[in-house]
Structure 1
């Protein structure tokens, strides 16, 4: 099973790798910079090399970098968009130091401009930034649909991809809390949700899963993560997802409200529920 959680990059990549191993993981997610800010810490190439050696020795799955929440590619403010586009380009340039990794971002909020305008602006950023040489896989995250978020419907993610020249560089990270809150019933119709994803986007584009329970009820269009088994999704639905033939091979990343000990307990719970084939 490929599983990890969100860790702090502050102490470096080797430290994150060691923490992941300590709690039973074999991958991890991290913010590329302060999630509420814009400045990124300079990469320590020696630390990065030590992590690569650790990851190879321990057969790590693909790691996932998460863009900061301040990145809004489809803001109504041109200054905010330009800031986002610069940050996105800088992050991708840095991620090329860790080839074949994932870079995940929230598509953004159109702030009253409308979904179509938001999709157009997000696609423009991707067309400006993605190149044929890029080794990092960029992931669009499924969203809950709160406010003016873009990406709560599979059709919206498909339309973004259709407008991007190098769409082979794009994939999707499915967030269980987000899709459930958006109105995709993972609890009672997991097969139907995955069939719809396949028909609209294609399961070959599903590259990673954020495993989260939800504090809110089905189709609430909120975004409040809960610990596994303590929310409205429930552990049985999560167990069904991690064992589903179309998902079980993917890397799973916990974003539940936990400290390391809580993540360790959840990783053990999920490993025990994971059926080897």
Structure 2
């Protein structure tokens, strides 16, 4: 299992790669550009190559994350065009960095209804992926169900993937906090979650896990991340993910709230401890 965390890429991708290593991370995640903006970003090719080489030398896995502001289900033509352009660019940036996947949030139907939202989401994914043939998979992330968000359940996500023209270019990223807040995962029914992932075909296309406790209670539909063991889910329930054979080898990314990235070193050690490992230093 590749346990890691989210790292800022503000000082360059190579620096982010080295920072991940310093913190004891075996994986890390970066935003492709400003998470709350859609301004195009020019990649420093030399920096990207150096960071990619460093990750390869140290066996570190990278996951990329696209900006929050895109909406795969928007009825607005201007935002639809920008979303397509932006995510195509995100995939190219992720490829330059050597990422295994680029996480994207599912669409919001913004009052047009779930049927419209799913149809529009599939249409948008088709347009995006018609023009991308690289190795990076676009990873659909399950949502907490805030507002008009789609993609709460395992079954809905697998159905969306299979409805596209390019299911082979799409994978999944599972967020523990989102599933708990959406009410689609009950901590004392962990085996049922794994079984559903297997039976629907979700598991074979699962590429990454976002590993977060939840400040909000079960079924609240509020996306509020918390440090591991400090929230409503609890360390005992979350440890099941770390010990589950079906998830071994996957990047497990902490997105818990920190004032400084340095705090992740202690939390990464804690996750190894929950797995039954004693990893000293970071």
Q: TM-score range by the shorter chain?
A: over 0.9
**How far 1:100 sits from its partner (Å)?**
5.5
1:104–1:182 CA distance, 2 compared to 1 (3 A): same
The residue number in structure 2 matching 1:102 is 101
Where in structure 1 do 4 or more consecutive aligned residues deviate above 4 Å? none
Quick check: 1:150 aligned with 2:150? yes
Cα contact 2:110–2:148 (8 A) shared by 1: yes
The whole-number CA distance in structure 2 between the counterparts of 1:96 and 1:53 is 13
**How far 1:202 sits from its partner (Å)?**
2.8
The whole-number CA distance in structure 2 between the counterparts of 1:270 and 1:94 is 29
The residue number in structure 2 matching 1:274 is 275
Cα contact 1:241–1:248 (8 A) shared by 2: no
* Runs of 5+ consecutive residues of structure 1 not aligned to the other structure: none
Deviations 1:4-28 (A, max 9, x none): 1111111111111111011110221
The whole-number CA distance in structure 2 between the counterparts of 1:138 and 1:193 is 22
The residue number in structure 2 matching 1:55 is 55
Cα contact 2:51–2:97 (8 A) shared by 1: no
The residue number in structure 2 matching 1:212 is 212
Deviations 1:114-133 (A, max 9, x none): 11211111111221121573
1:98–1:261 CA distance, 2 compared to 1 (3 A): closer
Deviations 1:115-172 (A, max 9, x none): 1211111111221121573211110001011110010122321221121112011111
**What SS does the aligned partner of 1:76 have?**
coil
The residue number in structure 1 matching 2:257 is 257
Aligned residues: 275
Cα contact 2:73–2:117 (8 A) shared by 1: yes
Query: TM-score, normalised to structure 1's length?
Result: 0.94
The whole-number CA distance in structure 1 between the counterparts of 2:33 and 2:97 is 16
The residue number in structure 1 matching 2:280 is none
The whole-number CA distance in structure 2 between the counterparts of 1:23 and 1:157 is 33
1:1-277 aligned within 5 A:
1-61=1-61, 63-99=62-98, 101-131=100-130, 133-258=133-258, 259-275=260-276
